[in-house]
Structure 1
């Protein structure tokens, strides 16, 4: 009987396990997870997961693994991989032989250089355990220092303010959301945080991050020292490639896979945050995406290709972030755009359409309260997938429905 092993019990790995069953695989499936919990959703960790005594939002009920005959190993890590022998070694000393292997090892929060490795007052947010630790500090009278003005840092800052904690956010670049978010939208986000009382410091470098007297101490390049009850480090994530590297797999900003999610070793696939892959819709550009939907989609695609489907990666990238009452959504990759056209949607919501030099729509970015931008971002995603060259005037005219452009 064939045995498929999945290393990594996050969004991607869990989706792949269930997709294998849905696609008719009747062999053995082993899903290996390093955390003590069953697979859970990570996006709520920076939002609802920080509020009150909230349990993880599980991807599937525990009995679903038994019903699906999926062997779920929790609290165990893969410590070795022999690609030639098709054997994975686990931290409990056992070995797993496999016919096909999926590496869905995800990513880990980047540590601040030279900061204490183990500190109650200097934390990151990547796991449910991290969220539980943060909860105790996010309350009135506490001061939280957030290092990094990306999605995680800003979402935690918003949640902390809503819970009554004082927040100071330090970003080394000249603005927040520098990576992949247009300046107009980033400016609106920054204004919203400032209105809520976040002390926002951009263009400021940090000389050191230490712990002293039960506080986190952040020393800036101008010699100012910031004291906080907790410092949250949100400076990005690094792909977990150690296992793949030990087995000699090709690494290129993550585990390098082809457009079918195949690694450089036979019978080994990789998917989700840990891998980089070519996107045909962007000329074969190799990218690595850290997003919830990408993890879902690639888990399903990897399952299909492990079963011989030979289907290429075709999804258009999509990201989202909730902060206060605002939702930010981005589809596509705006690198190389030469035109940025704005469509106002009312209620303070708007979308920016990003076109390349040939007039092709390559990305769209929107922000607004609730779900005000969701429908048009979805239609923009479909236009991007169709490699459309829409009429610029029609894109900006709020009385012209995007659906008509898609039909054209």
Structure 2
């Protein structure tokens, strides 16, 4: 059991979750949580939705109130770490200060990908932090036409918000469908139709190849030669793991800090959790996976806390995700990419249904639910159990999906 100080680098869901879980599991040694920003640790998922619409302010985003850290004996520190000194077992900061650790938990998250070309003075907006969101929210209130580069979750969530704020959104996506990496073709088609119906202008199979400032507006050049004008440009083209300190420290990384099933790195004094990890996951095809979701961050944080307090710790959870786009709540349990058969449970026209994906052995691998929270909860249990449910039964709306949870 670890008795020396545990230092957690990164104060998002994974970092705060690890600090809280250590205390929940009975760890009574020093816990020091390093936040690279000056504000209290906060949630990021609402930045593209509730915060952007003004439904919640910065104070409503905090993960834990200021008193929580003192009450639980968690030392919250602010500063930018610039080096991991594995030999001395210490973090080194931009100020020159150092912080020793007995065990280090890396919860450094991910960073937004930047456009791969010069933007000729144009101020491109990204949405990865509270300062980003504050700037973008202010600009959105003044905008009439916005171009969103990328049709992933962030881009589509922002497009739905822009519409609600009476701004004209245009989405440019290099793939031939929306959410191509994240959802099945059936869900892609449904959300494309819904966004077009709401008034979002969508251009697929195109890339933006240049942007230049034209006074208070921008001109974008697309790969098909089309020129577009806008007074606001937002790029949501994915993320990369924030693993630069780990790489410099000599830890194996591959767009994510490589960890084992116990979430240990190649250094047995360093663990990693959350978006920054590439970890073994039997529910994801291909072996090692990097997942960007709150569930993964929190579950991994709890697993590491258990291990550091001498309990069973291997991480083996079903990944699940969600996205709110206008009045559509998409909830996903599992991963779709290894499926070769899909079936719809319910009617797409009702805007409340689930898509079930099966692999070639007939096992249920993913359930993508739209406005069906009860089916999502049942799906997480079914996928964890690696259930085999005949499609004709699983798609029978008269049989609640939860009925199959207890099936052998």
Corresponding residue to 2:199 among 197, 200, 203: 197
Q: Is the 8 A contact 1:322 1:328 kept in 2?
A: yes
Match of 2:390 in 1: 391
Q: Is the 8 A contact 2:159 2:171 kept in 1?
A: yes
RMSD of the alignment, in Å? 1.8
Match of 1:81 in 2: 84
Q: Is the 8 A contact 2:184 2:337 kept in 1?
A: no
Which blocks of at least 5 consecutive residues in structure 2 are unaligned? none
Match of 2:68 in 1: 64
Tell me how far apart the structure 1 counterparts of residues 119 and 210 of structure 2 sit (CA, whole Å).
Answer: 10
- Within 5 Å, give how 1:40-51 maps onto structure 2: 40-51=42-53
Tell me how far apart the structure 1 counterparts of residues 41 and 311 of structure 2 sit (CA, whole Å).
Answer: 26
- Within 5 Å, give how 1:227-306 maps onto structure 2: 227-282=229-284, 285-306=287-308
Q: Report the alpha carbon displacement of residue 231 of structure 1 after superposing the two structures with TM.
A: 0.8
- Within 5 Å, give how 1:1-400 maps onto structure 2: 2-52=4-54, 54-56=57-59, 57-74=61-78, 76-116=79-119, 121-139=123-141, 142-282=144-284, 285-344=287-346, 347-368=350-371, 373-400=372-399
Q: Report the alpha carbon displacement of residue 138 of structure 1 after superposing the two structures with TM.
A: 1.9
Q: Secondary structure at the match of 1:277?
A: strand
TM-score w.r.t. the length of structure 1 is 0.94
Tell me how far apart the structure 2 counterparts of residues 190 and 49 of structure 1 sit (CA, whole Å).
Answer: 24
Tell me how far apart the structure 1 counterparts of residues 142 and 344 of structure 2 sit (CA, whole Å).
Answer: 39
Tell me how far apart the structure 2 counterparts of residues 72 and 216 of structure 1 sit (CA, whole Å).
Answer: 42
Q: Is the 8 A contact 1:112 1:209 kept in 2?
A: no
Tell me how far apart the structure 2 counterparts of residues 169 and 143 of structure 1 sit (CA, whole Å).
Answer: 11
Q: Which stretch of the first structure deviates more once superposed, 8-17 or 292-301?
A: 292-301
Q: Is the 8 A contact 1:278 1:284 kept in 2?
A: no
Cα distance, 1:225–1:283 mapped onto 2, change above 3 Å: closer
Q: Report the alpha carbon displacement of residue 224 of structure 1 after superposing the two structures with TM.
A: 2.0
Q: How many residues align?
A: 402
Q: Secondary structure at the match of 2:39?
A: coil
Tell me how far apart the structure 2 counterparts of residues 200 and 266 of structure 1 sit (CA, whole Å).
Answer: 48
Q: Secondary structure at the match of 1:36?
A: coil
Q: Is the 8 A contact 2:121 2:213 kept in 1?
A: no
Q: Report the alpha carbon displacement of residue 46 of structure 1 after superposing the two structures with TM.
A: 0.3
Tell me how far apart the structure 2 counterparts of residues 259 and 58 of structure 1 sit (CA, whole Å).
Answer: 30
Tell me how far apart the structure 2 counterparts of residues 251 and 267 of structure 1 sit (CA, whole Å).
Answer: 16
TM-score w.r.t. the length of structure 2 is 0.94
Tell me how far apart the structure 2 counterparts of residues 5 and 167 of structure 1 sit (CA, whole Å).
Answer: 43
Q: Is the 8 A contact 2:175 2:205 kept in 1?
A: yes
Q: Report the alpha carbon displacement of residue 392 of structure 1 after superposing the two structures with TM.
A: 1.8
Tell me how far apart the structure 2 counterparts of residues 190 and 247 of structure 1 sit (CA, whole Å).
Answer: 44
Q: Report the alpha carbon displacement of residue 68 of structure 1 after superposing the two structures with TM.
A: 1.3
Give per-residue Cα distances to partners, 1:70-112, cap 9 Å, x unaligned.
11112x1110111122111012211011000000000000000
Q: Is the 8 A contact 1:33 1:72 kept in 2?
A: yes
Q: Is the 8 A contact 2:148 2:236 kept in 1?
A: yes
Tell me how far apart the structure 2 counterparts of residues 310 and 280 of structure 1 sit (CA, whole Å).
Answer: 18
Q: Which stretch of the first structure deviates more once superposed, 396-405 or 338-347?
A: 338-347
Give per-residue Cα distances to partners, 1:130-171, cap 9 Å, x unaligned.
111111122375211100000000000101110111111101
